[in-house]
Structure 1
Amino acid sequence: MGKGYNAAIASSPYIVGSFACIGGGLFGLDISSMSGVLDNNFYKNQFGNPGESAQGAIVAAMPAGSFFGALLVTQLADRIGRKKTIMIASLIWVLGSILQCAAANRGMLVAGRVISGISVGISSSVVPIYQSEITAPSIRGRMVSLQQWSITWGILIQYFVQFGCSYINGKASFRIPWGLQMIPAIILFIGMFAFPESPRWMLDNDRDEEALEILADLHGKGDKNNDLVRLEFEEIKQQVIYERTEGAKSYLDLLKPGNPRRVFLGCSLQMWSQLTGMNVMMYYIVYVFRGTGLTGTRSNLIAASVQYVLNVAATVPAILFIDKWGRRPMLILGTLFMGFWLFLVGGLQARFGHWGEVDNARVWVVEGHGSATRGIIVCSYLFVCSFAVTMGPVSWTYPAEIYSLKIRGKAVSLATASNWIFNFALAWAVPPGFKNIAWKTYFIFGTFNFAACIHIFFMFPETVGRTLEEVEDIFASGHMFTAWAIGKEVGRKTLSEVVEGTHAGEKKLHGSDSFEEKQSA
């Protein structure tokens, strides 16, 4: 029987995990596909010079679609597998990109963005699941963090494409970038044929031999008898058997003892990642810098481009050290720093700004204070760096590793849906916020960051270095409001305990020999 994937490629979990990140890059492409056209006169004329509320609705169309796309993963990821779900998302993205590129009016543009959003919702939910299930615990954080890095690259590449096309006199200045963004999705769809399915999904669907083969290719250089491969296989098998003794999968599993807390943690972390205000800086950076007193479209775009470069660069340390630093320290320090920078921005805006008119729009603007303008820009850059090296990668890693196999697909999709529903609300509400309450907007998001810091300190346990199955014991330990007290010893099992538990569970469930015994027979 053919493997259905390239064994040479599967021998490197880095290649397998990083390629799937193209799905995350689609999210980044969409973010800057809007921020780069906000000052484009050809875009404004084509779509009726949208005001703050109308532009907010156009931007919010994508996260609205992403919300529903994320919910679809609750069924798709478990029914057809992680790999096929990623491929479906890439095809949907191509359709959405075509509609946006050809949009003749706001309705067509919004429809295209909703369809693209469905794709982003699906891929942003299933890619972290796929990555977490094919990588070893020692590099899992690093691999899932690549999801965030791919988002930053998508933002950067699309922004510079937009910047370059802004020199074109005509509608092609915004249509070309919207059309080019379908290329990564086509590459993702074709490339996924060479990559394996999640071995955990295989085991959950009684395809044990294929799962063992994939694990051997991923972690044992093709050797099925490798000790680490056997350990991981038996550990996953044990968890699958245990979950089957509890009955068929359903949404009610999310409400069983121990699960509501984890569902809440995943959803709330994705919520906080939006309430930090990061995507406000990404979507509406042109508006933000316009309020600092920067004059001229080119100057504004260049200043914004520096932020996108920093976003990519600052994510690299997180990828390299997330499995050494741990999830909790990164989240706690990140939210503290982000809150600090936002309060500085708001304070400088309040002290030196006033209501004025820029590009025929009423704007709270800082004028005649070069040092204040530079200070606001620098604080904005530092805020982006603080997010990129902390909350950005961890917000995708943590939800993908705290759930059991039985509820992982549904729970991660709900967590990602939380991300998108708050993304939708903020994308729509922020332009009117800048117009009406100006600098107070920064204080609101700064307060959200400090609230997130308190929540994370008390309720988010550390998961670094543990297998997905060991994480189960962390949440069975009973620590709910004392997450800092959970030690490294929680969630550790020996190989003999794993194998013994697996054999006992199999015999209880099937009344027969274990998989290993059947293989030797």
Structure 2
Amino acid sequence: MGFTTYNAKIASNPYVVGSFACIGGGLFGLDISSMSGVLNNEAYLSTFGFVCSFFLSLSTTLTHEDQPNPSAQGAIVAAMPAGSLIGALAVTQLADRLGRKKTVILAGIIWVIGSILQCASVNRGMLVVGRIISGLSVGLASAVVPIYQAEITAPAIRGRMVSLQQWSITWGILLQYFVQFGCSYINGVASFRIPWGLQMIPAIILSAGMMFFPESPRWLFDHGYEEEALQVLADLHGEGNAKNDLVVLEYEEIKQQVYFERTEGAKSYLDLLKDGNPRRVMLGMSLQMWSQLCGMNIMMYYIIYVFEGAGLTGRRSNLIADSVQYVLNMVMTIPAIIYIDKWGRRPMLLVGTLLMGFWMFLVGGIQARFGHWAEQAGGGAVWVIDGNQAATRAVIVASYLFVCSFAVTMGPVSWTYPAELYSLKTRGKAVSLATASNWAFNTALAFAVPPGLSSIAWKTYFIFGTFNFAAFLHVFFMFPETVGRSLEEVEDIFKQGHTFTAWKIGKDVGKKTLAEVVEKTKEIERPKGAESPDEKHSSEVA
């Protein structure tokens, strides 16, 4: 049977399986650096016919008439998240019909196509099309990889595994940025075409490698392949022993949930509006929304603009300062991966939103106090800090601390929490909607940030700081703790409807024993017509 064609020795370690799938998250990171690293590359700017207003003074070969406003660069950057929005929405169907594993493989193939188009781009139109296609891949991967990871890992390490999605994003950012940095010493278009071409390699590895890994056991069971689902669980969590207590517990919980959902009828989008699902859908979507509105979008895509406005002069100096930002982003995600299942989701979100709000207001305050509007060569004005090294360093340090605060809190939790909120019946559709929310706001911010920095300058940081404090209040009153629970136990929390109080849901509330799960499973009969394909085949042969 094709769904279980995988190497059991390779696939017997959930850390190996989950971390390999994270390459899909790394594709997003590759895109961030592939664009942020060329924003002041003159070969890129001349090839695509513009210089952003922040860098008019850097070029002596281009005239102001050749240079559109910052919205043009925003449109190019926004092409990728716009495609990602479509890809994330497509997961609502693909993850349930095609399977988690095959959707990841498809994402890698699409990324290769998009990278080829970007690498060969000769004008903005071709570049935008390539970025949209690459965005489709990122949208698919960013939605389905957390689902896949959540469904193959045990509750005790689920947060750690899903948070690897964020770590892989930081690695993608870091590696691609240093490739961009190295290639910046090459003259001509090769300085940006080589990095755009090399980013195909991780996608090829992802698609080829996933063929050796198992399908999600929950998806297998839901589609009738119950023996295969048990074997995958045994390989992943019981060293091949199907009678392992944890394996039996998970298998019985999955069986209970699947049988119950089959008695309720076919899956549909209307399921998202039943019982406690609307609240869960909104929690997942809003968390991904806050992960964008916190301001990380500025600090990743447009960090060159931030440091230029802070008074950091010299292209090489800016690139080096940017690289420190990306290194910190990667390194500070490690503590979150190690301790996310000990710290809990709520504390990380609450502390993170407060810290990020503080750093955003600090950056905005320093810019407001020491900056001024300055005329640029060729026309136009930009808000900059001139001749005040202390203020420049303060903005850079505050930016670094902001990124550290995001990396150790909101970054990993924003992927982990939505992946564990939903029942099997709605998980594919609900997680894809949550991820689509991420890309919708990512697209809007990619358009809005360059004009914002060029028009309202330091006030832009105050806007994002306010968003962080609003997110703190939302998390405190609405987000229950989910750490350490099986996906089926999380379901029980929300079956209480609106009667539970988010901050009173402790780590042990709703925990089940194996005996309780088995007893409840016996109460639910297998729905008629729910026999597995193997059983159907046997009856046909008989």
Q: Do they superpose with TM above 0.5? A: yes
Q: What is the Cα deviation at residue 221 of structure 1?
A: 0.5
**Is residue 68 of structure 2 the alignment partner of residue 67 of structure 1?**
no
- 1:179 counterpart residue number: 197
- 1:475 counterpart residue number: 494
**Is residue 210 of structure 2 the alignment partner of residue 192 of structure 1?**
yes
| Cα distance, 1:358–1:326 mapped onto 2, change above 3 Å | farther
What is the DSSP-based 3-state SS (H/G/I as helix, E as strand, rest coil) of the residue aligned with 2:509?
A: coil
What is the DSSP-based 3-state SS (H/G/I as helix, E as strand, rest coil) of the residue aligned with 1:463?
A: coil
Query: How many Å separate the matches in 2 of 1:500 and 1:480?
Result: 26
Taking structure 1 as the reference length, the TM-score comes to 0.96
Q: Is 1:473–1:490's contact at 8 Å kept on the other side of the alignment?
A: no
- 1:209 counterpart residue number: 227
What is the DSSP-based 3-state SS (H/G/I as helix, E as strand, rest coil) of the residue aligned with 2:373?
A: strand
> Which of 501, 505, 527 pairs up with 1:486?
505
Q: What is the Cα deviation at residue 9 of structure 1?
A: 1.3
**Is residue 254 of structure 2 the alignment partner of residue 239 of structure 1?**
no
Query: How many Å separate the matches in 1 of 2:465 and 2:501?
Result: 25
- 2:27 counterpart residue number: 26
Which residues in structure 2 correspond to 1:306-385 (within 5 Å)? 306-357=324-375, 360=378, 362-385=381-404
Q: What is the Cα deviation at residue 481 of structure 1?
A: 7.6
**Is residue 187 of structure 2 the alignment partner of residue 169 of structure 1?**
yes
Query: How many Å separate the matches in 1 of 2:230 and 2:501?
Result: 38
Q: Is 1:142–1:320's contact at 8 Å kept on the other side of the alignment?
A: yes
| Cα distance, 1:402–1:302 mapped onto 2, change above 3 Å | same
| Cα distance, 1:332–1:511 mapped onto 2, change above 3 Å | closer
Q: What is the Cα deviation at residue 48 of structure 1?
A: 0.8
Query: How many Å separate the matches in 1 of 2:528 and 2:263?
Result: 7
Amino acid across the alignment from 2:22? C
| Cα distance, 1:262–1:118 mapped onto 2, change above 3 Å | same
Q: Is 2:21–2:206's contact at 8 Å kept on the other side of the alignment?
A: yes
Q: Is 1:70–1:416's contact at 8 Å kept on the other side of the alignment?
A: yes
1:25-52 alpha-carbon deviations (Å, 9 max, x no partner): 0000000101000001110111011530
What is the DSSP-based 3-state SS (H/G/I as helix, E as strand, rest coil) of the residue aligned with 1:505?
A: coil
Q: What is the Cα deviation at residue 125 of structure 1?
A: 0.1
Q: Is 2:220–2:228's contact at 8 Å kept on the other side of the alignment?
A: yes
Which residues in structure 2 correspond to 1:19-418 (within 5 Å)? 19-49=20-50, 50-357=68-375, 360=378, 362-418=381-437
| Cα distance, 1:476–1:114 mapped onto 2, change above 3 Å | same
| Cα distance, 1:446–1:481 mapped onto 2, change above 3 Å | farther
Query: How many Å separate the matches in 2 of 1:190 and 1:460?
Result: 38
Q: What is the Cα deviation at residue 501 of structure 1?
A: 1.5
Query: How many Å separate the matches in 2 of 1:202 and 1:86?
Result: 16
Q: What is the Cα deviation at residue 487 of structure 1?
A: 2.8
What is the DSSP-based 3-state SS (H/G/I as helix, E as strand, rest coil) of the residue aligned with 2:230?
A: helix
What is the DSSP-based 3-state SS (H/G/I as helix, E as strand, rest coil) of the residue aligned with 2:365?
A: helix
Q: Is 2:476–2:503's contact at 8 Å kept on the other side of the alignment?
A: yes
Tell me the C-alpha RMSD between the 2 structures: 1.5
What is the DSSP-based 3-state SS (H/G/I as helix, E as strand, rest coil) of the residue aligned with 2:525?
A: helix
What is the DSSP-based 3-state SS (H/G/I as helix, E as strand, rest coil) of the residue aligned with 1:379?
A: helix
Superposition misfits of 4+ residues, deviation over 3 angstroms:
357-361, 478-481, 507-512
Q: What is the Cα deviation at residue 85 of structure 1?
A: 0.2
1:494-518 alpha-carbon deviations (Å, 9 max, x no partner): 2122112212212576799xx9xxx
Q: Is 1:479–1:486's contact at 8 Å kept on the other side of the alignment?
A: no
Taking structure 2 as the reference length, the TM-score comes to 0.93
Q: Is 1:458–1:481's contact at 8 Å kept on the other side of the alignment?
A: no
Query: How many Å separate the matches in 2 of 1:10 and 1:120?
Result: 24
1:241-295 alpha-carbon deviations (Å, 9 max, x no partner): 0111111000000000110000000000000000001021100000000001111
Percent of residue pairs identical = 76
Q: What is the Cα deviation at residue 67 of structure 1?
A: 0.2
What is the DSSP-based 3-state SS (H/G/I as helix, E as strand, rest coil) of the residue aligned with 1:294?
A: coil
* Structure 1, unaligned runs of 5 or more: 516-521
Query: How many Å separate the matches in 2 of 1:452 and 1:427?
Result: 20
Q: Is 1:459–1:481's contact at 8 Å kept on the other side of the alignment?
A: no
Amino acid across the alignment from 1:477? Q
| Cα distance, 1:250–1:478 mapped onto 2, change above 3 Å | closer
Q: What is the Cα deviation at residue 11 of structure 1?
A: 1.2
What is the DSSP-based 3-state SS (H/G/I as helix, E as strand, rest coil) of the residue aligned with 1:98?
A: helix
Q: What is the Cα deviation at residue 486 of structure 1?
A: 1.5
1:382-419 alpha-carbon deviations (Å, 9 max, x no partner): 00000000000000000000000000000000000000
| Cα distance, 1:447–1:292 mapped onto 2, change above 3 Å | same
| Cα distance, 1:359–1:398 mapped onto 2, change above 3 Å | farther
Aligned length: 513
What is the DSSP-based 3-state SS (H/G/I as helix, E as strand, rest coil) of the residue aligned with 1:242?
A: helix
| Cα distance, 1:343–1:130 mapped onto 2, change above 3 Å | same
Query: How many Å separate the matches in 2 of 1:272 and 1:394?
Result: 11
